[in-house]
């Protein structure tokens, strides 16, 4: 019952998010040039953050609106990461839109990630927690929410852990993640990371 109540609130919150979202209409060719600095981390397969250690997220195929909103959050300090804050604060709104358009223009690829969590349990937890309402059954949900399919397992774990502790702020995600055990987080991350059709590394196209 508790999950159903929280999920009802999540759906209501999502409706507000979608209603207030605006499409990022950037220039993909300009975005490719502006992504040059980003490629030093996000364009390398398996590249990891130094401390704490987790894979730098895959961005190819991510929704443009989500990329823009994430960069704005880094620029304002709403999301905390030293190098991301430093880079994001230098970008204009047009830069953000162009970069969003560039990464969103990549098609989903069939890539298999190695995972250590229990995929079957993660799928069940995703169903009972209502994750598909925002992120789609396989993690390929619609904008403005992020695509999760094919993302690195340990990055997804870090994100959920940060929502659980409140280090990362979002009322819906803080509530849902707060009810997850460490095992739940590991298995959910494994489930979404194991999806074959999903995000990939940004490569020259």
Average pLDDT over residues 126-134: 96
Judge whether residue 89 has pLDDT over 60.
Answer: yes
Q: Binning pLDDT at 50, 70 and 90, where does residue 101 land?
A: very high
Instruction: Specify the pLDDT at position 17.
Output: 42
Say which residues have a Cβ less than 8 Å from residue 203's Cβ, sequence separation at least 6. Answer: 43, 60
Domains in the chain with CATH codes: 2-10+21-198 (1.10.760.10)
What share of the chain in percent tops pLDDT 90?
80
Report the mean per-residue pLDDT for the chain. 89
Sign of CA dihedral 18, 20, 26, 32: negative
Are 108 and 63 contacting, i.e. CB atoms less than 8 angstroms apart?
Answer: no
């Amino acid at each position: 019952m508790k999950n159903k109540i929280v999920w009802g609130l999540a759906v209501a919150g999502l409706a507000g998010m979608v209603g207030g979202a605006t499409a990022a209409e950037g220039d993909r060719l300009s975005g490719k040039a502006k992504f040059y600095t980003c490629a030093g981390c996000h364009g390398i397969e398996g590249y990891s953050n130094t401390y704490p250690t987790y894979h730098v997220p895959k961005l190819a195929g991510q929704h443009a609106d989500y990329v823009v909103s994430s960069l704005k959050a880094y620029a304002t300090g709403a999301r905390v990461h030293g190098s991301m804050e430093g880079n994001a604060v230098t970008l204009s709104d047009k830069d953000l839109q162009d970069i969003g358009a560039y990464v969103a223009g990549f098609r989903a690829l069939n890539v298999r990630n190695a995972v250590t969590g229990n995929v079957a349990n993660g799928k069940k937890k995703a169903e009972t927690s209502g994750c598909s309402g925002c992120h789609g059954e396989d993690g390929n949900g619609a904008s403005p929410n992020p695509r999760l399919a094919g993302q690195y397992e340990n990055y997804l774990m870090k994100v959920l852990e940060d929502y659980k502790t409140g280090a990362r702020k979002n009322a819906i995600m803080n509530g849902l993640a707060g009810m997850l055990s460490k095992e739940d987080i590991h298995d959910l991350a494994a489930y979404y990371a194991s999806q074959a059709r999903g995000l990939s590394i940004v490569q020259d196209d």
